[in-house]
Amino acid sequence: MKELSHDRDCGQSCCLRVEKLSVKIGNDEILKNAELHVHCGELAALIGPNGAGKSTLLKAILGQRDYTGVIAFSQPGQRSKKPRIGYVPQSPSFDPSEPISVADLFACCMSRRPAFLGLSKSMRQTVKTCLQRVHGEDLIDKRVGTLSGGELQRVLLALALEPIPNILILDEPLSGVDVEGMNALMDMLDEIRKTYDLSILMTTHDFSMLPRYADQVALIDHTVVCKGTPQEVLSSEAFRRTFHMQGGSL
Ligand code: ADP
Ligand code: MG
Q: How far is the CA of 100 from the centre of ligand 2 (A)?
A: 27
Does 204 sit in the ligand 1 pocket, CB within 6 Å?
A: no
Whether residue 151 is contained in a domain is answered as no
The model's pTM is: 0.91
Does 27 sit in the ligand 1 pocket, CB within 6 Å?
A: no
Indicate the number of domains in the chain: 2
Whether residue 27 is contained in a domain is answered as yes
72/193 same-domain check: yes
Rounded CA-CA distance 81/77 in Å is 9
> Which residue, 55, 47, 7, is CA-closest to 31?
55
What's the pLDDT tens digit per position in 162-208? 999 999 999 999 998 999 999 999 999 999 999 998 999 999 999 99
Q: How far is the CA of 57 from the centre of ligand 2 (A)?
A: 9
Rounded CA-CA distance 153/177 in Å is 8
SS in 3 state form for 230-245? HHHHHCCHHHHHHCCC
Rounded CA-CA distance 238/242 in Å is 6
Closest CA to ligand 1's atom 27: 25
Closest CA to ligand 1's atom 16: 51
- In a mutational test of the pocket of ligand 1, which residue from 22, 23, 27, 30 has the highest number of ligand atoms less than 8 Å from its CB? 30
What's the pLDDT tens digit per position in 37-84? 999 899 999 999 999 999 999 999 999 999 999 999 987 666 656 889
Domain, as residue range, for 194: 11-92+165-242
58/181 same-domain check: yes
Whether residue 250 is contained in a domain is answered as no
Q: Tell me which DSSP letter residue 116 carries.
A: G
Does 55 sit in the ligand 1 pocket, CB within 6 Å?
A: yes
Q: What is the CATH number of the domain that holds 214?
A: 3.40.50.300
Whether residue 55 is contained in a domain is answered as yes
